[in-house]
Structures are given as structure tokens and as C-alpha cells.
Amino acid sequence: MRIFITGGLGFVGTQLSIRLLKRGHEVTVVDHSSEPRPYTPGQVKYFSADTTIPGAWQEELIKHDAVINLAGASIFQRWNDTTKQLIYNSRILTTRNVVEAMTGEKGALLCSTSAVGYYGFQYDEELIEEDSPGDDFLAKVCVDWEKEALKAADKGVRVTITRFGIVLGKTGGALGQMISAFKKFVGGPLGSGYQWFSWIHMEDLLSAFLFVFDNQDIHGPVNVCSPNPVRNRELATALGKALSRPSLFKAPAFLIRLVLGEFGSVVLEGQRVIPAKLLRQGFMFQYPEVTGALKEVIGG
């Protein structure tokens, strides 16, 4: 299969490219960097482009059987009007351009990313794919992002929306920042520590993508997260044990909001998301518990 990946030089895209190549697929990546990264597999065909703008990259996309849409500016920064517009545009405009380029040939597939932030802040409620979205900024981004992707279904494309939890992996992401704090003996719960943390090990995320590729019955939103979300304080305890560091130093809520602005509320609230669709389809998680996942990531 010929697979086209937007935003493919990032944390997830790089690992996904490696996994797809091992399965014998041809992979083309488009990203905004002028050239691929040193760790980008040599077999990957690379295009440099701003995917928020229509261009020659869309002509390349048409030659492929499937598109994985990962493009989007990082949300892990202090939010202001400028960064929020960047977060929004990088997702919605790219997805719109991807869909406009797709022809809907038989068997075409679009796997477009979203996030568990779609559900907003729902306290202790277990959230599955059929539940309603929240009304905060990130939820509204996800709603509009998904709407753009689902327009491809009108062309006969099979569309899946992969709503990511926080990805735990060895090469970066949010976990890298948490590990740094713990190694300095200043790690611990964020705010009250009672907020839910929906997560997934990188290996399970990659396997879930391949599972979705192979299962023609899967359409629409798919929660890509562990079946066992944990509270933030449980995560802090498990991470402290894995690193042999204390997990006693709470980061006060006011300080998190001061540093991160509106994004601080996302960190302090969280959501309890369950991968109901994957479980119904028989997907087996290799790392369903956070203790085992952290042990593998940190000790492996």
C-alpha cells in the first residue's frame, strides 16, 4: 500500500513510518521542515511544504492509497491569541486541503488525527466514542477538525478519526518533560492530582493504527488510549517508582495556570476516556496498565 503522512516528521509520525515500512508499505511524508530529520528512515520519500496552503504536495497525495493526517502545531505551550490561531489553522486548513485533494478511488482511506480533548472536562464520567463533545477551546478545535476530515466520506473514502490520548514513548512527547522534572527531584502530581489522565503506550498506538488499516468495518471516531486511564496522582506515583525518585512535590494549580495560561486548565482537568470501539473490535493492548507501560519506556 502507498501511504501519505502529513506532519510525518514528529514524535508519532517517525515511529509510524518505521512500522509501516517494516510491513512493506511505501511511505511518503510531507512536513514543513526544509529537509527530513537525521532519524527519518532513508526509504521514506519526503516533501517539504506548508500543508495549510494548497500546492504541489496535493498532486503527490493523489498517487497514494491511504492518508494519515498528523499535522498540527503543538498544544504543549502557553496559549495566547496567536498560538491558539496557529493550533486551529494548522489542523483545520491542512485537513481541508487533504480532503480536497482526495479523489475517493475504491479502497481509499483517510486516518485523521484528533484528541481525547474532544470530550472537554467531564469529571469522573467514562467517555466513549458516541459521547458528546465539550465546549472549551480544545474541544471546539477537535470538533471542527473532525468535521473537515469526515467530508471525505462524501467522496466514498473510508474515514477514521483517531482520538489520541497522551502518548508514552521513548523518544519524546509529554513524558520527556515529566521525566526531566522527576530526575531533578521536583516531580509530583499537578494541582489536586485527582484529574484523569488518558494515555497510550507508543507500541499500542502503532498497533492500533495497523488494526484500523486492516479492519474495513472501522469508520468514524476511534479512541486511541489505554482501557485503564489513571488519575494524575497515580501517574506521578508510578513514574516516581519507575525512576526511583520521590513523587511528593505537587505543582500548585495557580502556578500551572500562570505558566501555561488557558492550556493550564487542560492539564488540570483531563478526561476519563475508554477505547470502546477498539475493544468491541477485539483489539488487544500490549500495555494496558500504566505501571507496565512506564517500566518499558523508562527501563527499556
Measured distance CA(294)–CA(150) in Å, rounded: 34
Q: Other CB atoms closer than 10 Å to residue 108's CB: what's the count?
A: 18
Dump pLDDT digits (tens) for 198-245: 999 999 999 999 999 999 999 999 999 999 999 988 888 887 877 777
Q: Compute the distance between CA of residue 182 and CA of residue 65 in angstroms, rounded to an integer.
A: 44
Cell representation of residue 144: 471542527
Extract the C-alpha cell encoding 5.
Answer: 503522512
Q: Quick check: 100 pLDDT over 60? A: yes
The CATH code that applies to domain 2-167+199-225 is: 3.40.50.720
Given a cut of 60, is residue 300 above it in pLDDT? no
Residue 104 φ/ψ region, left for φ over 0, alpha for ψ in the -120 to 50 degree band, beta for the rest: left
pTM: 0.91
Contacts of 59 (CB under 8 A, 6+ apart): 101
pLDDT band per the 50, 70, 90 thresholds, residue 195: confident
Unique residue bearing C-alpha cell 521513548: 170
- Stretch (H or E) spanning 177: helix 174-183
Write the burial class of residue 282 (CB in 10 Å: 0-12 exposed, 13-18 middle, 19+ buried).
exposed
SS3 19: helix
Does position 273 have pLDDT exceeding 80, yes or no? yes
d(CA 172, CA 174): 7
Q: 3-state DSSP: the chain helix, strand, coil percent, rounded to 5?
A: 40, 20, 40
Q: For the ranges 37-51, 64-78, 133-147, 178-192, which has the lowest average pLDDT?
A: 178-192
